[in-house]
């Protein structure tokens, strides 16, 4: 009887889906191996090339590489541009977190975006992206890809009619973020996938703002997920990295392309990324809870004109966010209420300058709170009118919440708002 009970418990454990923190710390527990020297942490394999014992060893490697004849050679490489044990270990962990077959690391989030699009879009094809995407992604699609006779179309996030109308015979990809930047729009991923599959178009979601803790697009049928791992995945504002996660055949094709284009991540950066991943679930949970409190506080304050946060019922995509997200993220976007006789840009600047906790800086997702005016940080070269035309108003503020105490952040906002 005891043996039967033990077997039942063992079978239940084998079928159990580990929690987010367990996956972030261990990856696939059943695949855990002893590291070199029995080190608990993944060693940094700092090498540009790999040696072979003799020509027979080299021949065995080449045979396995070409024909897959020797499974023991699966992790073997001959040159650093094609692979690294430290990098591979982190890729496996990221694939587990996103519920994907495989993952591929890049030296930055933008490198992930550009390498993926270059690899997946043939000359003469067409790509669709939403108009609230990261501006560098939009610029790459509209300007750089034009050199290869690749057309692009923009559609509003959440407008399924406009999305389907934009699909052409040569459309190959639909690309978006969810949440988007800076207005945190949430795409209905099931609806997106349904439309894309009807037209045999692949889908890519940049899920940097969500993290796999809050949303896993692959679970909804999205083909490929991209992250700027510089942000939440690393979590400490001390490295740059990007990652693409998806089906193993697609990732294999992207890996072949990466070997030619040369955009590979350094093993030390991969090591730091893995260290950050171990606390991902803890950090994101804290940032989710604090951001919701901050958003609610700001929405109730007369000095704030409007707040954009998916966790608030006032957000246009609140219903979608509740249906497909486990948490609403650590970024709160808001506009400062105008003051008679003062330029909106200056009013928002005075608020930011009066704050004590957040640093004025680009980026997001780290343990430190960061704040910025998009009009000054990313769109300064444009006029007020040009910024307004693309939805960037002078009184807009993006607040990336860190892991500081929620009460301290709200008290800081209160004292800063009192000075306006």
Cα 70 from Cα 88, distance rounded (Å): 18
Residue 34 DSSP one-character state: P
Cα 178 from Cα 217, distance rounded (Å): 9
Query: Catalytic annotation on 398?
Result: no
Tokens representing residue 295 in the block: 């958003």
Query: Catalytic annotation on 28?
Result: no
Backbone angles phi, psi at 376, to 5 degrees: -100, -30
79 burial (CB, 10 Å; 0-12 / 13-18 / 19+) is exposed
Cα 41 from Cα 330, distance rounded (Å): 28
How many CA atoms lie within 13 Å of 348's alpha carbon, on the beta-carbon side?
25
Cα 229 from Cα 165, distance rounded (Å): 33
Q: Which of 231, 286, 387, 398 is catalytic?
A: 231
Q: Which of 206, 266, 285, 317 is catalytic?
A: 206
Q: Which of 106, 134, 183, 297 is catalytic?
A: 134
Give 342-363 as a DSSP string. Answer: S-HHHHHHHHHHH-SSSEE-S-
Our CA angle for 40, 44, 50, nearest 5°, is: 125
Instruction: List residues bridging with 208 in a β-sheet.
Output: none
Q: Which of 65, 76, 81, 92 is catalytic?
A: 81
- Of 412, 150, 191, the closest CA to residue 320 belongs to 191
Query: Catalytic annotation on 346?
Result: no
Side by side, the strands of the sheet bearing 331-336 are 304-308, 331-336, 396-400, 370-372, 359-360
- Of 143, 195, 140, 135, the closest CA to residue 171 belongs to 195
Cα 263 from Cα 245, distance rounded (Å): 16
34 burial (CB, 10 Å; 0-12 / 13-18 / 19+) is exposed
Tokens representing residue 89 in the block: 């270990």
N-term to C-term CA, the chain: 73
Query: Catalytic annotation on 231?
Result: yes
Active-site residue list: 81, 134, 206, 231
């Amino acid at each position: 009887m005891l043996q039967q009970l033990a077997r039942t418990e063992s079978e239940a454990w084998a079928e159990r889906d580990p929690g987010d923190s367990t996956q972030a710390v261990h990856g696939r527990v059943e695949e855990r191996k002893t590291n070199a020297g029995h080190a608990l942490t993944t060693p940094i394999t700092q090498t540009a090339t790999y040696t072979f014992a003799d020509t027979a060893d080299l021949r065995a490697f080449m045979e396995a590489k070409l024909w897959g004849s020797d499974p023991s050679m699966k992790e073997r490489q001959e040159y650093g541009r094609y692979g690294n044990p430290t990098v591979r270990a982190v890729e496996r962990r990221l694939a587990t977190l996103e519920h994907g077959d495989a993952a591929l690391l890049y030296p930055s989030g933008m490198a992930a975006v550009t390498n993926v699009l270059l690899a997946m879009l043939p000359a003469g094809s067409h790509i669709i992206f939403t108009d609230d995407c990261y501006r560098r992604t939009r610029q790459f699609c509209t300007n750089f890809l034009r050199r290869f006779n690749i057309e692009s179309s923009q559609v509003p996030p959440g407008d399924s009619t406009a999305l389907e109308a934009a699909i052409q015979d040569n459309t190959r990809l639909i690309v978006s973020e969810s949440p988007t930047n800076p207005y945190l729009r949430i795409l209905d991923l099931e609806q997106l996938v349904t439309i894309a599959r009807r037209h045999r178009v692949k889908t890519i979601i940049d899920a940097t703002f969500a993290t796999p803790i809050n949303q896993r697009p692959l679970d909804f049928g999205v083909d490929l997920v991209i992250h700027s791992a510089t942000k939440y995945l690393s979590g400490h504002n001390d490295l740059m990295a990007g990652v693409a996660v998806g089906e193993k055949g697609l990732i294999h094709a992207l890996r072949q392309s990466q070997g030619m284009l040369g955009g590979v991540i350094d093993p030390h950066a991969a090591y730091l990324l893995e260290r950050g991943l171990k606390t991902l679930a803890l950090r994101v949970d804290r940032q989710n809870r604090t951001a919701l409190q901050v958003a609610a506080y700001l929405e109730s304050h007369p000095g704030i004109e409007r707040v954009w946060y998916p966790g608030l019922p006032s957000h246009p995509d609140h219903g979608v966010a509740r249906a497909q997200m486990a948490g609403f993220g650590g970024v709160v976007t808001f506009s400062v209420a105008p003051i008679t006789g003062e330029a909106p840009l200056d009013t928002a600047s005075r608020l930011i300058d009066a704050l004590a906790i957040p640093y004025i800086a680009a980026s997001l997702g780290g343990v430190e709170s960061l704040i910025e005016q998009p009009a000054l940080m990313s769109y300064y070269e444009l006029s007020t009118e040009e910024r307004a035309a693309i939805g960037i108003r002078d009184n807009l503020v993006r607040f990336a919440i860190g892991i500081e105490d929620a009460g301290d952040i709200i008290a800081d906002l209160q004292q800063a708002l009192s000075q306006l």
